[in-house]
A and B are shown apart, each in its own frame.
Chain A
Amino acid sequence: MGKTGVRDDARGAAARLGMWLFIATEAFFFLAPLLLYAAYRYRYAYDFRAAGGELNLFTGAANTAVLLTSSLTMALAVNAGQRGDKRLTAVLLAATIILGSVFLVIKYFEWTAKISHGIYPNSETFSGRARGEVIFWGLYFFITGLHGLHVFIGVCLLTVMLFMRLANASGGRYPARLENCGLYWHAVDVIWIYIFPFFYLMG
């Protein structure tokens, strides 16, 4: 493969199309459990509301704010990367990584709080609960867990990008790569935008 600028453009276009397709597959990846959510919410409407009410709206909203802010810093980082502003790119990347990590830490405390109250699949106090509530919590742990995993992967990716930046990568294919990481990060963010109302607001 050649190393000319034209080729890099073509490769960038290909990579962008590939990334969009990958994001589409991610959407379908989350579709299955969200379809289950819809089916069970229809069947156990009352239980789902009761269980949703037990979630801490404040932590959920805080996490939403954290993730939305991280999307902003990510977008700015991509922009800075394209303009070739090396320092700003690094700073914004670091900010995004920190915000992503904060999200995970809040999520960790939220999970452990629920688990310490005996709210987790197969726990002893769980058998007495309504069936819909058991399903609600099962889906909650599965979907937020899966999403958390995606955030974690994103944080790892961005850390790699930050190290590449610190190792003085800026030209060539770096901006296109950064842009693709940004697309991924926004996709993870958008998925949370669906999860948040389904679990926290519709309670």
Chain B
Amino acid sequence: MDNAGEAVYYRNKVRGRAGVRQWIFSTDHKRIGVLYLVSVLAMFSSGVVLGVLMRLELLTPGPTLMGPQTYNSMFTLHGVIMLFLFIIPAAPGVFGNFFLPILIGANDVAFPRLNLLSWWFYMAGAAIAVASILIGAGPPDTGWTFYAPYSLFTGQDVSLALFAVFVLGLSSVLTGINFIVTVHNMRAPGMGWFRMPLFVWSIYATAWIQALATPVVGTTFLLVIAERFFGIGVFDPAKGGDPILYQHLFWIYSHPAVYIMILPAMGIITEIIPVFARKTVFGYRAIAYSSLAIAGVGSLVWGHHMFVSGYSYTAGVLFSFFTFLVAIPSAVKVFNWIATLHKGSIVFSTPMLYAFCFIFLFSIGGLTGLMLGALSMNVVLHGTYFVVGHFHYVKFGGAGFAFFAGLHYWFPKMSGRLYSRMRANIALFLLFAGFNMLYFPMFILGIEGMPRRYFDALPQYHFWQAVSIAGSWVLAAGIILMLANLVHALFRGEKAPENPWAGATLEWTIPSPPAHENFVKIPEIRRGPYDYR
């Protein structure tokens, strides 16, 4: 333990191991966090490329870049990659791994080797997903929801993609278990539950969903695989099975999965706002409990994806009601963030600007979610571009922007370098402008009735599609500039001090980048996490 004090940075070479092996076999939670960072960003970039190409195809009628079959595979892969390989693992995998132990004053997670195994499962899942494109009958064309019975009959290579998601689920479950035990057992002396930073609370709530909801979709996908290979009949209407039951089982996981994406995002924003307002967070307990409330009530709303599926009237009413209820804890968080700004002393650093953009975009995403939760409106808007706009505002504008906010907030700590703030702000401007240009027209298209997953836009929808397509280029430019700026800083950036933002949480008390065992001596905690007085 003692030699850990002599700044053996976690990035320094480890004796006895060479090259990439000292990373991919490391059980240091910080290295695993960096492994996740590199892999999720690679996945994100490929998802962006697919997305931009898909948009571009819609510019002209008929097949220009690709035919309908390719287009359908592309939106399927875009969904699978962005959800299962980017946004679900991103915040827990990267920031959960890197900062959860540090924020609670621990040397590592509870099960470091299991943690490494999670990353390996993640990589195996990614490899299998890529294999499903290259081998067999070609990439899946079912949409990321794999709805039966289409997914049972299509000639494309669905089983392999489903198995990939199954393996990714295993990774997610193990990460969830690891984090729950870490929070329960590894807190430093004095680190009571209500002295934990709120990011830890959000990761904790997320971990429960990861551990308990993911297995349901795991078996559901196994059932579809069994259906494809053996024809067991449970989802096949020709044999008496009911495809609606598939949708239930799918959304029992996949709706809570939305909260796997958004809860850590909210946690990141909750870390950033107090630091740059120089003020303790407003309503600590309300924010902590609202994370749990979102995780709990969020498990009861899956049926709002199925209002027009023909299930019972009562089911529709109940699912709509719970959907509205889950808006309340989300609103509580937003109000507390804004109240934190009140009488603060606000600095407009890049992470804070990201947080403002997050609140702007997430409030649009959340409120359009309410519009979709209203039963009679849902019937009209379900399956249209309105839904596509809504979930991109929540998942990209919300979870994605928060992830990038976290990246800019913790980059100096993770890399030990400072990035160019001017370039970062320009990139954010492009991201924000491009984002709204790309996704806001989708609300209009949806209200006008354009269905999603259409290979061709009908003529009456052309104008807003064109605006949206142009937006995708601006957004892509913003992403490239943002990533380039960070990569540049990694090699050429100024050395970062221990505490560049004057933050009060534990990660800012240790060197940038941190040493292998995080703390020379496990700290004793005597105050709350956002004490700026």
Which A residues fall within an 8 A CB radius of B?
1-2, 10, 13-15, 17-18, 21-22, 24-26, 28-33, 35-36, 39-40, 43-44, 120-122, 131-132, 134-135, 137-139, 141-142, 146
Q: How far is the CA of A29 from the CA of B110 in the complex (A)?
A: 23
B117 on the interface (CB 8 Å rule)? Answer: no
Chain B residues, CB < 8 A from A43: 242
Q: Is A131 within 8 A of B240, CB to CB?
A: yes
Q: Is A134 within 8 A of B240, CB to CB?
A: yes
Q: Is B181 within 8 A of A32, CB to CB?
A: no
Chain A residues, CB < 8 A from B177: 18, 21-22, 25
Q: Is B212 within 8 A of A24, CB to CB?
A: yes
Most chain A C-beta atoms within 10 Å of own C-beta, residue among B184, B220, B226, B240: B240
Q: Is A44 within 8 A of B216, CB to CB?
A: no
Q: Is A14 within 8 A of B215, CB to CB?
A: no
Q: Is B185 within 8 A of A10, CB to CB?
A: yes
Q: Is A18 within 8 A of B211, CB to CB?
A: no
Other-chain contact of B233, A24, A28, A135, A146 (Cβ < 8 Å): A135
| A contacts with B: majority SS | helix
Other-chain contact of B185, A14, A22, A44, A139 (Cβ < 8 Å): A14
Q: Is A28 within 8 A of B212, CB to CB?
A: yes
Interface set, chain B 117-154, CB cutoff 8 A to A:
none
Chain A residues, CB < 8 A from B223: 32-33, 36, 142
Q: Is A29 within 8 A of B249, CB to CB?
A: no
Q: Is B185 within 8 A of A141, CB to CB?
A: no
B374 on the interface (CB 8 Å rule)? Answer: no
Q: Is B219 within 8 A of A138, CB to CB?
A: no
Chain A residues, CB < 8 A from B239: 131, 134-135, 138
| B contacts with A: majority SS | helix
Using CB atoms, name the residue of chain B closest to A145.
B226
Using CB atoms, name the residue of chain B closest to A139.
B234
Q: Mark contacts of B176-191 with chain A using CB atoms, 8 A cut-off: 1 yes-contact digit, 0 otherwise.
A: 1110110011100000
Using CB atoms, name the residue of chain B closest to A27.
B215
Instruction: Give the tally of cross-chain contacts (CB within 8 A).
Output: 107
B241 on the interface (CB 8 Å rule)? Answer: yes
Chain B residues, CB < 8 A from A30: 219
Q: How far is the CA of A15 from the CA of B186 in the complex (A)?
A: 12
B218 on the interface (CB 8 Å rule)? Answer: yes
Q: How far is the CA of A120 from the CA of B185 in the complex (A)?
A: 48
Q: Is A21 within 8 A of B211, CB to CB?
A: yes
Other-chain contact of B249, A14, A15, A32, A134 (Cβ < 8 Å): A32
B171 nearest CB across to chain A (Å): 13
Chain B residues, CB < 8 A from A33: 219, 223
Chain B residues, CB < 8 A from A18: 110-111, 114, 177-178, 181
Most chain A C-beta atoms within 10 Å of own C-beta, residue among B177, B216, B233: B233
Q: How far is the CA of A90 from the CA of B211 in the complex (A)?
A: 33
Chain B residues, CB < 8 A from A134: 233, 239-240
Interface set, chain B 201-250, CB cutoff 8 A to A:
211-220, 222-223, 226, 230-234, 239-242, 245, 248-249
Q: Is B230 within 8 A of A121, CB to CB?
A: yes
B58 on the interface (CB 8 Å rule)? Answer: no
B100 on the interface (CB 8 Å rule)? Answer: no
Q: How far is the CA of A121 from the CA of B114 in the complex (A)?
A: 37
Most chain B C-beta atoms within 10 Å of own C-beta, residue among A25, A131, A135: A25
Most chain A C-beta atoms within 10 Å of own C-beta, residue among B107, B108, B239, B245: B239
B427 on the interface (CB 8 Å rule)? Answer: no
Chain B residues, CB < 8 A from A120: 230
B273 on the interface (CB 8 Å rule)? Answer: no
Using CB atoms, name the residue of chain B closest to A22.
B177
Q: Is A132 within 8 A of B173, CB to CB?
A: no
Q: Is A139 within 8 A of B211, CB to CB?
A: no
Q: Is A28 within 8 A of B231, CB to CB?
A: no
Using CB atoms, name the residue of chain A closest to B218.
A29
Other-chain contact of A39, B111, B216, B242 (Cβ < 8 Å): B242
Q: How far is the CA of A91 from the CA of B241 in the complex (A)?
A: 47
Q: Is A25 within 8 A of B212, CB to CB?
A: yes
Q: Is A40 within 8 A of B212, CB to CB?
A: no
